[in-house]
Amino acid sequence: MQELTSLIRLRISAHDAHYAGGLVDGAKMLHLFGDVATELLIRSDGDEGLFVAYDSIEFLAPVHAGDFIEATGRIVSIGHTSRKMAFEARKIIAAAGIAGQPSAADVLAEPVIVCRASGTCVVPAACQRIRR
């Protein structure tokens, strides 16, 4: 079977900031991983399935309002109903933080990994529309 991957890229808004200094709650990355997982399950099984557990979560760098984040995921193993997945979120554009220029931003020469995770999703056999 061909490896399935998904990518979501978005700008983190001021609405997403939860802490002082425009810092974003780490749960925002998990929300993105959930969306990536949903796309992967639809592509692999024709159904949204359910996210049942994270095995590992690492928050590696801060995310601020104005940053652009790229969240990716891939299915790493397939069971009868379970799908193990690996995720990574990278900052690709950062708010510049220049006084008097609130809209300034910098394209990063190298993306910064802000979060990594792995987890398991399940698609009940009766819901699997794409057969292997």
Separation of CA 129 from chain center: 25
What is the structure's pLDDT at 63? 95
Predicted confidence (pLDDT) at residue 131 exceeds the cutoff of 70: no
Reported as a single tens digit per residue, the pLDDT across 56-108 is: 999 999 999 999 999 999 999 999 999 999 999 999 999 887 888 878 899 99
Q: Of residues 55 and 14, which shows the higher confidence score?
A: 55
Q: Of residues 116 and 13, which shows the higher confidence score?
A: 116
> If one looks up domain 5-127 in CATH, what number appears?
3.10.129.10
User: What is the rounded CA–CA span in Å between residue 67 and residue 91?
Assistant: 7
What is the structure's pLDDT at 129? 87
Q: Which two tokens stand for residue 94?
A: 């950062």
